[in-house]
Structure 1
Amino acid sequence: MRFQKTSVVDFPIGAVSDFHRNPKILKELTPPLAPVYFHRIEPLNEGSIVEMTIWLGCFPVFWRAKYIEVQKLSGFSDIQEKGPFKLWKHVHRFHDLENGKTEIDDNIEAEFKPGLKGMPGRLIWMGLHMLFYFRHWKTRKMLARFYPNAGYAIQYETR
């Protein structure tokens, strides 16, 4: 399965890249009512690890992701090392546009585990649209706070 969320923000690519490299940002980009507990968030570098527990009702789902393909300005990827999916690869790309704008492109490729073992992944997958709508909105708000002299608008598109 594939999922994509794309937004254009009125901030330069350097600001967008620096913003995403801050290890505190992942918690900020998690919706406030989302039942996620982060055990470990390493700074964004090749091979860095993030470990978290996502609560699906009363059932905890452990997830360990590793950052790969880390590039200073153009983005990074994360892959699931352990978690609810058979396969998970999330590619975060930043594209420099005209007039100091940046396109933020999130692409996810995933496969469910078979049978009942795949149920947690299916439930998480159903919430991706809301999660990434929130993340792109929150990114715009936080960039405006960190870089007040840059632009402020965002345009949403989902491809």
Structure 2
Amino acid sequence: MHIFQIKQVQVLPIPLAEAWTFFCDPRNLGAITPDWLCFDIRSEVPPCMYPGLIIEYRIKALAGLPMAWVTEITHVAAPNYFVDEQRFGPYRFWHHQHHFREVDEGVEMTDIVHYAMPYGVLGLAVHKLVVAKRLEQVFAFRQQKLATLFG
């Protein structure tokens, strides 16, 4: 199994408390997800996540085919970080760390994602042809949208 990594760092000119309030609310995830993913939260979610929270989504990933994605919030240390892990979905493995740190300019946010594709060699080919580019697009959209939302 090959584990891929994405790391993205972004500074937003807002206080740490404001960043945490936005990111701890799972309902805000749709606002920073590209429309072409047709992201839809299917489960009831509270205004602030907690360890053990299960969130059910529906997305359209490859070729516009709808698929279920279930994640669990496994770690929360407010207001510094949280971790979500896929329980069911498109990846063989998905572990996403979200870190928040005060800096002179506001808040430095760091996303670190480790993930693996299913289906062996076929999954690696699909990753190279489609998935890697799609994930780049998702995180680029997110970075631009957050810059727009928070200046």
Normalised TM-score (structure 2): 0.82
Match of 1:95 in 2: 101
Q: Considering fraction of residues, name the structure with more helix.
A: 2
Q: Determine the C-alpha separation between the residues in 1 that align with 2:89 and 2:121.
A: 14
More contact order relative to length (CA 8 Å, sep ≥ 6):
1
Match of 2:56 in 1: 51
Shift of 1:128: 1.2
Does the 8 A contact of 1:13 with 1:96 survive in 2?
A: yes
**What per-residue deviation string (whole Å, max 9, x for no partner) do you get for residues 29-51 of structure 1?**
11123233321252311111221
Does the 8 A contact of 2:27 with 2:45 survive in 1?
A: no
Q: Determine the C-alpha separation between the residues in 2 that align with 1:47 and 1:117.
A: 33
Match of 1:111 in 2: 116
Normalised TM-score (structure 1): 0.79
Task: Please state if 1:133 is matched with 2:140.
Answer: yes
Count of matched residue positions in the alignment of Structure 1 and Structure 2 = 143
Q: Determine the C-alpha separation between the residues in 2 that align with 1:41 and 1:98.
A: 37
Query: Structure 2: which 5+ residue stretches go unaligned?
Result: none
Task: Please state if 1:72 is matched with 2:93.
Answer: no
Q: Secondary structure of the equivalent of 2:21?
A: helix
Cα separation, partners in 2 of 1:111 and 1:41, compared to 1, 3 Å? farther
Cα separation, partners in 2 of 1:116 and 1:38, compared to 1, 3 Å? farther
Match of 1:3 in 2: 6
Cα separation, partners in 2 of 1:16 and 1:78, compared to 1, 3 Å? same
Q: Determine the C-alpha separation between the residues in 2 that align with 1:128 and 1:31.
A: 11
Match of 1:147 in 2: none
Q: Determine the C-alpha separation between the residues in 2 that align with 1:90 and 1:36.
A: 17
Q: Determine the C-alpha separation between the residues in 2 that align with 1:102 and 1:113.
A: 35
Q: Secondary structure of the equivalent of 2:35?
A: coil
Query: Structure 1: which 5+ residue stretches go unaligned?
Result: 144-151, 153-159
Q: Determine the C-alpha separation between the residues in 2 that align with 1:82 and 1:90.
A: 14
Q: Determine the C-alpha separation between the residues in 1 that align with 2:52 and 2:121.
A: 31
**What per-residue deviation string (whole Å, max 9, x for no partner) do you get for residues 45-79 of structure 1?**
11112211222224222110001211111020100
